[in-house]
Amino acid sequence: MPVGALSRVAAGVVGAGGVLREEIWERLATVPDPRSPRGRVYPLPCLLAVWLCALSAAGHDGACAVGQWVARASPAELARLRLPFDPFTGRHRIPDETTLRRLLARVDRDALAAALLGDTALVPADGSPAAVAVDGKTSRGAHRADGTQVHLLGVATHGTGLLAGQVEVDAKSNETAAFQPLLGALDLAGVTVTFDAMHTVRANLDWLVTVKNAHYVAVVKANQPLLRARLARLPWTDVPTVETRRDHGHGRDETRTLKVATVGFLDFPHATQAVRIIRWRRVKGRKSSRETVYLITDHSAETASPALLAAHARRHWHVENKVHYVRDVSFGEDASTLRTGNIPANLATLRSAVINRLRRAGYRFIPPGRRDHTTPTAALDLHGFP
């Protein structure tokens, strides 16, 4: 277990020359306060800090648990949370569950996501090709007033699985309409964006290349029947297999073969290469299955080798495995019934910020990381609060 995760220095609290850094407070201060100035007791950044640190501790997944967490904090820890000090009682004031819940319902969800997830670096430190994956998730326990479920669209880095942004999909819209708002604020120059077939539409692909100076690897399915038919008619028997991958585990055998062909007549924005992946699956006690998946990319053969395209295809699902699955299993997101206003989206952002910070601290698995930060001091150190 990374011992440095519990150190204030390892958490990035102390900068050069021993000066305490204020970065986390500055980012929280960018979130607009939805409350009336009259009668405010707790500054908005303080309450957001309480939520963020409490969710970092194992077993604190709801408003009631967060209220209990802050009530157990020592005077020194309450001071680090910058909760107001009452000179008449000689104690720091402590927000209750109702205050915490009401606030989260009203905080602007996009501003909170930008403040807590916007510091995610899209370009890997080791200089490897930068790639991000776009994928959606439904919060199954959260229903709006009209009965619809809350659906979120997120973008995460390949490999590390750090969430870099998130938007809520409007009840009367779909993921495709949220694609550009999600990625619009990100610097995607030179970054490869992967996504499933829902987002493989002309407008999104052209926007990525011409406006964002990005690259794409897009899945093609039945929602683009003409394009898929063109891909299926390519002379794949004459194209050599560039990768064969075999996986075994949990009673399942899977073999994947990948072929890549240079194309120039697909009549789709900027597409220059096509990819065919055939998956053979055999699950114990079930009939074997075969699936053919087609992808297109604007990458030329010079900028993306078959091996790199294969890696992009495999790593696309990291946003599902490393973010969405973890939020469900470690934080009980699908079981949560907190649904008022912006609570579902804001809770998802806070949970993702905790996951990001624990992964940066060196934790491969999130549950041990949360157990290592059950005390307020440990959680404050983790997130870099002075």
pTM for the full predicted model: 0.87
What pLDDT is stored for residue 3 in this prediction? 37
Q: Which residue has the higher pLDDT, 15 or 362?
A: 362
CA distance 30 to 32: 6
pLDDT at residue 184 tops 90: yes
Give mean pLDDT, residues 236-259. 85
pLDDT at residue 4 tops 70: no
Give mean pLDDT, residues 275-287. 85
Count, residues in the chain: 386
> In the structure, what pLDDT confidence band is assigned to residue 286 with cuts at 50, 70 and 90?
confident
Q: Which residue has the higher pLDDT, 333 or 84?
A: 84
Q: Which residue has the higher pLDDT, 330 or 367?
A: 367
Q: Which two tokens stand for residue 95?
A: 């927000």
pLDDT in tens, 24-72: 999 999 999 999 988 889 999 999 999 999 999 998 988 899 999 999 9
- For the purposes of burial, counting CB atoms within 10 Å of the CB of 129, is it exposed (0-12), middle (13-18) or buried (19 or more)? middle
Q: Lowest mean pLDDT: which of 29-38, 196-205, 324-333?
A: 324-333
For residues 348 and 373, the answer to whether their CB atoms sit within 8 Å is no
Q: State the average pLDDT for the chain.
A: 87
What pLDDT is stored for residue 321 in this prediction? 78
Q: Lowest mean pLDDT: which of 218-232, 288-302, 318-332?
A: 318-332
For residues 192 and 129, the answer to whether their CB atoms sit within 8 Å is yes
CA dist 194 → 200, 283, 315, 347 (Å):
10, 28, 9, 25
What pLDDT is stored for residue 20 in this prediction? 39
Domain boundaries in the chain? Answer: 3-115+338-383, 217-303
CA distance 369 to 107: 27
Q: Which two tokens stand for residue 194?
A: 């992967």
CA distance 93 to 100: 13
Give Dmax (Cα) for the chain. Answer: 83
In this structure, which amino acid lies at residue 220?
V
For residues 350 and 116, the answer to whether their CB atoms sit within 8 Å is yes
Give mean pLDDT, residues 95-115. 94
Q: What percent of the chain has pLDDT over 90?
A: 63
What pLDDT is stored for residue 141 in this prediction? 66
pLDDT in tens, 124-161: 877 778 999 999 888 776 666 676 778 899 999 998 88
> In the structure, what pLDDT confidence band is assigned to residue 338 with cuts at 50, 70 and 90?
low
What pLDDT is stored for residue 209 in this prediction? 97
Q: Match 């087609």 to its residue by tokens.
A: 294
